[in-house]
A and B are shown apart, each in its own frame.
Chain A
Amino acid sequence: KAGVTQTPRYLIKTRGQQVTLSCSPISGHRSVSWYQQTPGQGLQFLFEYFSETQRNKGNFPGRFSGRQFSNSRSEMNVSTLELGDSALYLCASSPPLTRWGQALAGELFFGEGSRLTVL
Chain B
Amino acid sequence: DAKTTQPTSMDCAEGRAANLPCNHSTISGNEYVYWYRQIHSQGPQYIIHGLKNNETNEMASLIITEDRKSSTLILPHATLRDTAVYYCIVLYGQNFVFGPGTRLSVLP
Contact = CB atoms under 8 A, between A and B. Distances in A.
Interface of A: 4, 33, 35, 42-45, 48, 55-56, 58, 90, 92, 100-101, 103, 105-113
B108 interface: no
Contact of B93 (A35, A43, A101, A103): A101
A108 B47 CA distance: 10
A43 B94 contact: no
A105 B43 contact: no
Given A103-B32, A106-B34, A42 B46 contact: no
B75 interface: no
Contacts of A90: 43-44
A112 B93 CA distance: 26
Interface in B21-61: 32, 34, 36, 41-46, 49, 51
A89 to B, nearest CB: 10
A110 B43 contact: yes
A92 B98 CA distance: 14
A92 B45 CA distance: 10
Contacts, number: 50
A100 B94 contact: yes
Contact of B98 (A42, A48, A56, A105): A42
Contact of B97 (A45, A48, A107, A109): A45
A108 B44 contact: yes
B98 A106 contact: no
Which 3 residue pairs are nearest across A and B when measured between Cβ atoms? A110-B43, A101-B94, A43-B98
B74 interface: no
Contacts of A48: 95
B37 to A, nearest CB: 11
B92 to A, nearest CB: 9
A114 B51 CA distance: 33
Contacts of A33: 96
Which of A33, A56, A90, A101 has the largest number of chain B CB atoms within 10 A?
A101
Nearest to A101: B94
